[in-house]
Structure formats: C-alpha cells, structure tokens
Amino acid sequence: MRGISFEVGAGDSIGIVGESGCGKSITLKAILGLLPVNAKVTRGNIYVNGTDVAGHSKKERRALFSEIAGMIFQDAIAALNPVITVGQQIAEVPRFRLGQSKEQAHATALKLMEQVGISDAEHRFSLYPHQLSGGLRQRIAIAIALSGKPKVLFCDEPTTALDVTIQAQVLRLLLELRRDEGLGLVFVTHDLAVVNEICDSIKVMYAGKFIEVGGVKDTFSKPTHPYTYSLLKAAPDPDVAVSRLFTIEGEAPNLILPVTGCPFSPRCFASTTECLAKEPQLISIDGSLSACFNGAEHTKWKATDAKSGAHA
C-alpha cells in the first residue's frame, strides 16, 4: 500500500473496490497483523480506540482485535480448521472468550448457522469442512466472524462463493447488525452492486493507493476519476443490449518497480502529458476526493471515452 488512510467507526460501512492485485486484501491483513512472512508494515499508524498498535507484537494485536473485530476471509477452505467440526469452530469464541457454558455456546453456534442461511444446523454442526459445499463453508466462515460479537467486521469478498439468494440473505443480516448493534463494516469486493447495497462510502483502489474516495451514491452517479468511471461502465446493465462490454485495456503496473506519473495513465482515455510526468494526489472535486489532474472534466468523459485505453 502507498499512503492510504481511512477510519471506521460504529455503524460505518466502507466499501473498498479495485481489480485483483491492487492491495485491497493486503490492506485488511496489514491492519489485523495477518501479513505473510515475506511482508511487513514499514511505516504508518494503526489506531484502535486511540491506541497505535502498529508496533505491537502479533500476540498483543491479536488479543486487542479479538475483543472488537471479526474477519471474513475470501478462501473459506483455507480459513477453516480441517480436523475440527464446523460447529465447534463457531462455538469456540463464545465458549472460551465470551465465557458461555458448553451448552450455551452450542446454542449460540446453531443460532448463527441459521442466521447465515444454513439449514439443518443441528446435523451440520457435527460435520467437517470437507463435507460441506463451498457456499456452506463460506457461510460457516461468516458465522465464525460474527461469533465474538465484533464492533467492526472486515469482509474480504465474503459473498463470492454464494448464490444470489444466500448472498442477499447474508447482506441483509449484515445490514441488520449494522442498524441494530452499530456494527462497523469494511467491505472489500469486486462487486459494485454489493457496494451500492451495503455501503455508504467507497474507496476506489488502484496500484496500492486510493484514487477516488466519496459517498457511494455520488461516486456512482458522477465518478471523478477515469478508473472509477471505467469500472462502472464495465459493469453490465441488464436493461441495455450491447454487442460488446466496455473494457479497460492494458495491465496494472508492477509495484516492485518505481511508479512514475499517474499509475493509471497508460490505460486512461483522459491521460495528458502531465499525467505521465508526476503522480496526482487526492484533491476535492465536486464533493469527492479524486487523484486525477483532469477530474474536474468528468462531465465531458462520456463524449470522449472512446479515444483509447478504454472502449466499448
């Protein structure tokens, strides 16, 4: 990540979107101290209730975050313990951190399984992860994340493996928890429709940086960065017949190499010589923050976006 910053409070719902490899998931792992062994936070601050935990050990940070945060991982099969029943995995936090009896923790686990759309919960409580479908495993992972009654829930593509009916059920549950219990949500996803449904604010990420930040409704109706505009236009509209979907040509930059200029400029239909020379920073444009030298011209893009880099 390169200079990103955001905060989430009770009841907030933040969507982080961008293409694969831009840094969305690694951002969540950096916050929670779950980076792989070949990665580390070299600078910056991570505040939890006013305390900077960036310098804490993994054990110290885990103890602090276990009290306030939950995490839903994208790959449920990797997140679940293969030799412990799924019911026991859900009941573990209520039993050993919340202090519930074995019977109470069992009942809590069954209730959570039902909340996330798992039928025949009593039977499936005793199954192992490999005995469940991918969609059921993902729902188990969501139930585990909710089992500690977190104040903030970090969600890394949590509905990817679910069919649309169960996805809607899970999103409805998260919205209810946000409304009734003040649950804060940080939602990483490729699905702009999900962001539109569950989030109030959006942070568009590209090449390890936030390049547009704003309210979901304003950003979707009048994007001020060409990348955001292209993402939205690339989403298919079921009410509009087209012969070819809008696409963004080229590839994201290799961040191992130094970034010169705007990282999106080689793929951008609005790029100028200024974009190639220096990297823009976030500035206020029409109520949003946009890292684009030409963001103020966003009202003209619809007429000129077929030049190059992105096309229909």
Model confidence at 269: pLDDT above 80: yes
Model confidence at 277: pLDDT above 60: yes
The per-residue pLDDT for range 153-170, each reduced to its tens digit, is: 999 988 877 788 888 888
DSSP letter string over 36-50? -TT----S---EETT
165 shares its domain with 63: yes
247 shares its domain with 284: yes
**What are the structure tokens assigned to 15, written together?**
């969507």
Question: What local confidence, expressed as pLDDT, does residue 304 receive?
Answer: 60
Q: Tell me how far the alpha carbon of residue 201 is from its chain's centroid.
A: 12
The region of weakest confidence among 60-64, 136-140, 146-150, 247-251 is 60-64
Three-state secondary-structure class, residue 298: helix
62 shares its domain with 100: yes
**What are the structure tokens assigned to 94, written together?**
């209520």
Of 199, 221, 239, at which residue does a domain stop? Answer: 199
Neighbours of 158 (CB within 10 A): 27
24 shares its domain with 162: yes
Three-state secondary-structure class, residue 165: helix
Q: Where are the alpha helices (DSSP H) in 33-163?
A: 58-68, 76-79, 86-96, 102-115, 121-124, 134-146
- Going through the chain in order, the beta strands assigned E by DSSP cover 13-17, 47-48, 51-52, 69-72, 152-156, 184-189, 201-206, 209-215, 247-248, 283-285, 288-290, 310-311
Of 148, 173, 199, at which residue does a domain stop? Answer: 199
109 shares its domain with 189: yes
Residue range(s) defining the domain that contains residue 235: 210-311
- In angstroms, what is the C-alpha Rg of the chain? 21
* 150, part of any domain: yes
216 shares its domain with 195: no
60 shares its domain with 180: yes
219 shares its domain with 92: no
Q: What is the mean pLDDT of residues 268-297?
A: 91
* 3, part of any domain: no
- CATH number, residue 148: 3.40.50.300
